[in-house]
């Protein structure tokens, strides 16, 4: 097996590396590890991209809760009262506010990606703007939705 020395100083010698900056590939070759999250300066596009994945994961939990809602409703008034008592508690409301934010953001982020997939908005300036707009959209929708629910008395603590 040949491990060609990498350009640079001796500390980059991968054969006696102790820093964890190198990784042995499945084919046996030693290669430098690509920089991970903590190495990069944060960009709004990067944050926006990560948030799409995080909100998508949160929405998978949301799907479980929606299924639970359907189940409680199908099991009758007693089961439904138990369900709404849990979900209407401060902690439950916090979960649903979080899910609203996740849904609004995943929606905006998804539309942003569809715009990019169509080949539009790909200059750094446009990409930054679209990312900022999608985050702002989620914040505005979530605040408006829940402020509305509380002010119309549909939801109360």
Partner 1 sequence: MSHGTKSYIKGVKVSERHGAGEWMQERLSSLILIPLTLWGLWSGWVLSGAGYDGALDWFRSPVNAIVLTATLLVSLWHMNMGLKVIVDDYIHRPASRNALLGLIGLLCMLLAAAGVFFIVRLALGSAPLPAGFGA
Binding footprint of partner 1 on the chain (CB under 8 A)? 53, 56-57, 59-60, 63-64, 66-67, 70-71, 73-77, 79-81, 84, 100, 103-104, 107, 110-111, 113-114, 117, 141, 145, 148-149, 153-156
Query: Taking the CB of residue 102, how many other CB atoms lie within 10 A of it?
Result: 22
Q: Which two tokens stand for residue 129?
A: 């703007």
- Placement of tokens 């750094």 in the chain: 124
Nearer to partner 1, 30 or 97 (CB): 97
Closer of 11 and 38 to partner 1 (Cβ): 38
Nearer to partner 1, 51 or 104 (CB): 104
Q: Give the span between the Cα atoms of 90 and 129, in whole angstroms.
A: 35
Shortest Cβ 89–partner 1 spacing (Å): 14
Q: Is 55 exposed, middle or buried (0-12, 13-18, 19+ CB in 10 A)?
A: buried
Residues counted in the chain: 157
Beta carbon of residue 16, minimum distance to partner 1 (angstroms, whole number): 25
């Amino acid at each position: 097996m040949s491990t060609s020395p990498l350009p640079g100083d001796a500390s980059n010698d991968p054969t006696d590396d102790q820093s964890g900056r190198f990784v042995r590939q499945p084919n046996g070759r030693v290669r430098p590890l690509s920089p991970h999250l903590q190495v990069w300066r944060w960009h709004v596009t990067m944050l926006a991209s990560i948030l799409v994945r995080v909100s998508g994961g949160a929405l998978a939990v949301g799907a479980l809760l929606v299924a639970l809602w359907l189940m409680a409703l199908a099991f009758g008034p007693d089961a439904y009262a138990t369900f709404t008592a849990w979900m209407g508690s401060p902690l439950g409301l916090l979960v649903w506010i979080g899910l609203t934010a996740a849904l609004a953001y995943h929606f905006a982020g998804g539309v942003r990606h569809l715009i990019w997939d169509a080949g539009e908005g790909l200059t750094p300036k446009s990409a930054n703007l679209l990312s900022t707009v999608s985050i702002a959209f989620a914040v505005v929708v979530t605040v408006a939705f829940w402020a509305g629910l509380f002010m119309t008395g549909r939801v109360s603590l």
